[in-house]
């Protein structure tokens, strides 16, 4: 099969945008990445890189070692525990094949950015309007959950909707050996190791949108939970805490429109309960780049839509379902044995 080359505009320099940029550059495409932020972020919480995402990095890097760098810098985890709010174990799971790699967002973005030519990413450059992108063979919208490109192509009916959960995220000094997620009525709390000898944590509660999300509110919500949760909350620095409401995408009728393809949160924003959002953005990028290098643009985009849309929309639904299970207020006496049995089955 003859390799195909071209010119791509990538709108957004986040994880999905930089992954597809790496994959296309290594397939001899010219790429221009437009990123409105002035630089890469210097702080951020940990991300879980599942095996499929590491494979996507290998694809994106064409053997340049992107996936290996992530595994070297990250923390490997081959299992996790699900706990009740009082610390009793619901179940423990082990990954069936390769470990999950936990790595902070800034380090992952730095690895991806350093894999590109120095002039590929235009920081401080908002995405041009679609009429200004006519010189490009393909436009890849990686402009995030509030994608202006998606709005222009599909209208306001497909803007993300509130999941019913508000979340806090952050990190504290010191590390923990394993990952755990604690479930309580209307809330959950996760604790994981991360690079830099730090502990990453996240909390989500069922709440109306637009709450203040103060640290006092967070500590009060979890004051009766088990000691590991309280220990983390006692040690947090408010400057290192992020608070935001969680949104997910309604199912789009297509991930492509003309010569424009949507990837990552622009296409399929999901609740974080499966830990798949960043992973799926990377898989989107690698998949799209391979298809563009093997097929004419129109055919490549059609194949991309068929390959990625239904799968990622199923993950959006599954993430929503898991959030409801984890924060259930009723029937937990039935839920916990069922989850424990399912966890034992994965060993």
Q: Angle at CA 58, nearest 5°, toward 56 and 62?
A: 120
Closest CA to 234 of 181, 174, 180: 174
Output the pLDDT for position 213.
84
75-77 sheet: strands from edge to edge: 46-49, 100-104, 75-77
Output the pLDDT for position 70.
86
Output the pLDDT for position 64.
62
Other C-beta atoms lying within 10 Å of the C-beta of residue 208 = 9
Output the pLDDT for position 185.
95
Q: What residue ranges in the chain does DSSP mark as E strands?
A: 7-11, 30-35, 46-49, 75-77, 79-84, 89-94, 100-104, 121-123, 138-141, 161-173, 179-184, 187-194, 198-206, 242-248, 256-257, 260-262
pLDDT in tens, the chain (347 residues): 567 889 999 999 999 999 999 999 999 999 999 999 999 998 888 899 998 999 998 888 766 677 788 888 888 888 889 999 999 999 988 765 788 899 999 999 999 999 999 999 999 998 887 778 999 999 999 999 999 999 999 999 999 999 999 999 999 999 898 899 999 999 999 999 998 889 999 999 999 998 878 999 999 999 999 999 999 999 999 988 999 999 999 999 999 999 999 999 999 999 999 889 999 999 999 999 999 999 999 999 999 999 999 999 999 999 999 999 999 888 777 787 877 666 555 44
Residue 66 structure tokens: 């992107």
Closest CA to 106 of 46, 171, 34, 33: 46
One DSSP character per residue, 165-198 reads EEEEEEEEES--SSEEEEEETTEEEEEEEETTTE
In the chain, the largest separation of any two C-alpha atoms, in whole Å, equals 63
CA atoms within 13 A of residue 60's CA, in its CB half-sphere: 33
pTM: 0.94
Tokens 């509130």, residue? Answer: 162
Q: Angle at CA 275, nearest 5°, toward 212 and 341?
A: 110
Residue 39 structure tokens: 């630089």
Length of the chain: 347
CA atoms within 13 A of residue 288's CA, in its CB half-sphere: 37
Closest CA to 271 of 255, 249, 292, 303: 249
Residue 322 structure tokens: 């898991």
Structural domains in the chain?
7-75+103-160+249-324 (3.50.50.60), 162-246+327-345 (3.30.9.30)
Work out whether strand 7-11 and strand 30-35 pair parallel, antiparallel, or are unpaired. Answer: parallel
């Amino acid at each position: 099969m003859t390799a195909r080359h071209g010119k791509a505009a990538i709108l957004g320099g986040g994880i999905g945008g930089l992954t597809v940029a790496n994959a296309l550059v290594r397939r001899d495409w010219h790429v221009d990445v437009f990123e409105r932020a002035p630089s890469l972020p210097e702080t951020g919480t940990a991300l879980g890189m599942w095996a499929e995402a590491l494979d996507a990095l290998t694809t994106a890097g064409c053997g340049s070692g992107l996936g290996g760098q992530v595994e070297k810098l990250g923390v490997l985890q081959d299992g996790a525990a699900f706990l009740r709010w009082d610390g009793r174990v619901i179940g423990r799971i082990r990954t069936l094949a390769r470990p999950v790699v936990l790595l902070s967002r800034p380090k992952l973005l730095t690895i991806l950015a350093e894999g590109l030519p120095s002039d590929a990413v235009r920081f401080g450059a908002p995405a041009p309007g679609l009429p200004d992108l006519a010189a490009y063979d393909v436009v890849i919208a990686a402009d995030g959950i509030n994608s202006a490109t998606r709005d222009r192509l599909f209208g306001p009916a497909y803007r993300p909707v509130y999941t019913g959960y508000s979340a806090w995220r952050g990190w504290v000094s010191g590390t923990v050996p394993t990952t755990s997620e604690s479930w309580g009525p209307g809330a959950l709390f996760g604790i994981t190791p991360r690079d830099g000898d730090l502990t990453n944590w996240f909390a989500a509660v069922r709440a109306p949108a637009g709450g203040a999300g103060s640290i006092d509110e967070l500590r009060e919500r979890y004051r009766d939970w088990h000691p590991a949760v309280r220990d983390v909350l006692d040690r947090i620095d408010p400057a290192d805490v992020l608070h935001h409401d969680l949104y997910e995408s309604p199912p789009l009728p297509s991930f492509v429109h003309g010569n424009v393809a949507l990837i990552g949160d622009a296409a399929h924003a999901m609740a974080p309960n499966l830990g798949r959002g960043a992973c799926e953005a990377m898989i989107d990028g690698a998949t799209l780049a391979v298809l563009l290098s093997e097929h004419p643009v129109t055919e490549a985009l059609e194949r991309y839509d068929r390959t990625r849309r239904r799968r990622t929309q199923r993950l959006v639904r599954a993430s929503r379902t898991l959030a409801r299970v984890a924060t259930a207020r009723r029937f937990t006496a039935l839920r916990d044995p069922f989850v424990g049995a399912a966890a034992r089955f994965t060993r």
